[in-house]
Amino acid sequence: MSLKYIIFWVLTLITFLVIIVIFSLTLGVAGIPAGKMVSVFLHGPGSTEYSIIFDIRLPRIILAFAVGGSLSLAGVLLQGMFRNSLVEPYTLGISGGAALGVSISIVLGLAAISRFTFPLFGSLGASMVIGILYLLSLKKVRINLQRLLLIGIMISFISSSLVMLLMSLSSMDSLHGIVFWIMGSLAESDGTLIQIMLAASLGLLAVSYLFCHHLNAFALGEEEAHHLGIPVESTKRILFLASSLLTGFCVSAAGMIGFVGLVVPHFMRRVVGHDHRILLVSSFLAGAIFLIVCDTVARIIIAPVELPVGVVTGIVGGSIFVYALAKEDIS
């Protein structure tokens, strides 16, 4: 791995990102052509177009950037530790756990206390599921994938049943809160929450990057990683905590968005290779690009009605998941 290779891909992806962001800014119910955008910028605040771009579309794109990058990064981290490319927050039931955590906080009426309530409960729910998965399967030398995925699906079922249980028992107000939030969307009005999400995603990317050699060594198996001087258990704990936080924050900010952590790393491994020194950053950026594209599609495909972005990623990602699983069976 050379520095040039890493810089090349990071710059390429950032270029892509900028193009996609400009595209996404111009598209919507009120079309603002790219040419007109320049004059909007030059005139500064005041015009309707300016507030559409800076108050509505840009915050949403920033949130999509942070959530897409985080989900994709969480996918890479989990895949690295489980040595399997089919695990990710959604397929392992971690998103489901986060959703359950957030629902509990709504029912308990804690949402009003602080804007950190959702991220906190979401992360708690996510780490609970990771803890269960860890106890059930990670201690084993060779992980049985079918077993792991089944456990993940069951955890998803159990959490969604528990969410429904909460819904059926809760008051009209909380019910409305849960439904509104589960539908999920990247249209977040709270600017501070978007800033927190962005800071958390970039911060956790930096933390994860410190463990890029550890993740590369994990590819050889935990015992081999130990032979290379990697403190296996503490590394796993830190990276599991990081993926719980990433998933918890994403789910609390944007609801259930599935398969980003599966599709993007899968694609990036083919493009840039398996080395985590490039895979972590490139998957983050590509995840951001992927979710911005999906959200733009969700916004405009049957405008003025908006699709939940999870629907778009679910259809695209689910199909790729089935394809990848079928291929894995053959080989």
Question: Contact residues for another protein (CB under 8 A)?
Answer: 1-3, 6, 83, 209-210, 212-213, 216-217, 219-221, 223-224, 226-231, 274-275, 277
Distance in Å, CB of 316 to another protein, minimum: 24
Q: Which is nearer to another protein, 46 or 223 (CB)?
A: 223
Distances (CA, A) of 246 to 100, 112, 213, 266: 16, 22, 20, 19
Place of tokens 């040039």: 4
Query: Which of 186, 217 has the CB closer to another protein?
Result: 217
Minimal distance, residue 83 CB to another protein, in Å: 7
DSSP states along 235-301: HHHHHHHHHHHHHHHHHHHH----SHHHHHHHHHHHHH-S-HHHHHHHHHHHHHHHHHHHHHHHHHT
Compute the C-alpha angle 58/64/68, nearest 5°.
155
Q: Is 210 exposed, middle or buried (0-12, 13-18, 19+ CB in 10 A)?
A: exposed
**Minimum distance from residue 214 beta carbon to another protein (Å):** 8
Query: Which is it for the CA torsion 121, 76, 1, 225, positive or negative?
Result: positive
**Nearer Cβ to another protein, position 110 or 220?**
220
Angle between helices 260-272 and 276-300 (to 10 degrees): 130
> CB of 9: closest distance to another protein in angstroms?
14
Region of residue 21 (phi > 0: left; psi between -120 and 50: alpha; otherwise: beta):
alpha
Q: Which is nearer to another protein, 269 or 297 (CB)?
A: 269
User: CB-wise, 4 or 305, nearer to another protein?
Assistant: 4
Shortest distance (Å) from residue 71 CB to another protein: 23
Q: How many CB atoms lie within 10 A of CB 322?
A: 10
Nearer to another protein, 132 or 213 (CB): 213
In angstroms, the Cα distances linking 230 to 80, 133, 226 are 14, 22, 5
The nearer residue to another protein, 212 or 260, going by C-beta atoms, is 212
Question: Quick check: 197 and 253 in contact, CB under 8 A?
Answer: yes
Question: CB 264 → another protein: shortest distance, Å?
Answer: 18
CB 135 within 8 A of CB 240: no
We find the least distance from the C-beta atom of residue 138 to another protein, in angstroms, to be 16
